[in-house]
Amino acid sequence: MDLYSLEVIARIHSDFPGKFGIPRQSGLVDELKAQIIFEPKFRNLDAIRGLEEFSHIWLIWQFSLSLRDNWSATVRPPRLGGNKRIGVFATRSPFRPNALALSSVRLESIKNHPHLGPVLYVSGADLADGTPIFDIKPYLAFTDSHPDAVCGFADRHLQDKLTVHCPEELAIQLPLSDRQALFALLAQDPRPSYQDDPERIYGFPFAGYEIHFTVRGKELTVKSITKQ
């Protein structure tokens, strides 16, 4: 087998220190904000000259929190309840031969930091904090967008949302922008698809807080929000 090496050009800084809670696709939660900081070797303004003219960009990155020594020809996608197996190349599962991922995010702005060089501010990202990025490309609507595309099993439950209930005394602990992002994220139902226990308390870290919640039917109730 031919082997090729990839060099990390940047890393993302997001509100997710771990995998749990991250949206299953990019663009599902526009309220989520993140920054892309280039590795020292690539902190060159010339490398991103003209990028400010684009509204969206593609990120090619690694499932760095899901690396394995082997891979499986079939996986169990969450969209199918986590029980039915389907071919890995018919999914966006992280458990693939090269653990590469592709995300489309909105480019909100570019700022030149005195120590970090050019920093890309993006929204709608589905990457954990510190995820390595191998390449950045502009999104071209005239060729990258296909409104009539057929999405197989992936969009069967796309409109399914949970109603989120959060006591005001808990919600006010979060800055407004983080609060809006959290509620949009919870409405997507971050639980593993094969789990449906109304008595179970789920939890994940987000934006420096630990979030705990329960789900009964289509109702999600936040139980606690505590500073980490």
- 69 and 129 housed in the same domain: yes
What pLDDT does 69 receive? 85
3-class secondary structure, 117: strand
pLDDT at 68: 84
* Structural domain includes residue 155: no
Q: What is the pLDDT of residue 159?
A: 62
Query: How far apart, in whole angstroms, are the C-alpha atoms of residue 101 and residue 56?
Result: 17
Dihedrals phi, psi of 95, to nearest 5 degrees: -90, 70
Instruction: Classify residue 58: in a domain, yes or no.
Output: yes
pLDDT 10s digits, 151-207: 887 776 566 789 999 999 999 999 999 999 999 999 989 887 777 889 999 999 999
Shared domain for 38 and 134, answered yes or no, is yes
Decide the pairing of beta strands 100-113 and 117-123.
Answer: antiparallel
Q: How does residue 132 score in pLDDT terms, banded at 50, 70 and 90?
A: very high
Query: Residue 198's CB: how many other CB atoms inside 10 A?
Result: 9
Cα–Cα distance between 102 and 92 in angstroms, integer?
9
Same domain, 111 and 185: no
pLDDT of amino acid 157: 57
**More confident: 227 or 196:** 227
Say how many residues make up the chain.
228
Tell me: pLDDT of 30 over 70: yes
* CA nearest neighbour of 139 among 106, 92, 117: 106
Tell me, yes or no, whether 175 and 202 share the same domain: yes
Amino acid at 224: S
Considering the entire predicted model, what is its pTM?
0.90
Domain finish residue from 144, 174, 208: 144
Instruction: Say how many domains are in the chain.
Output: 2
Q: What is the DSSP string of 142-195?
A: HHH--TT---GGGGTTTT--PEEE--HHHHTTS-HHHHHHHHHHHHT--S-TT-
Q: What is the average per-residue pLDDT within 68-94?
A: 85
4: which 2 tokens? 């090729």
Q: Report, as an integer, the average pLDDT of 207-224.
A: 96
Structure tokens at 125: 């990202």
Selected residue with higher pLDDT from 19 and 141: 141
Q: Is a pLDDT exceeding 80 seen at residue 1?
A: no
pLDDT at 158: 61
Q: What is the pLDDT of residue 32?
A: 95
pLDDT at 55: 98
Comparing 138 with 5, which gets the higher pLDDT?
A: 138
Instruction: State whether 139 and 170 are in the same domain.
Output: no
Cα(65)–Cα(82) distance, integer angstroms:
19
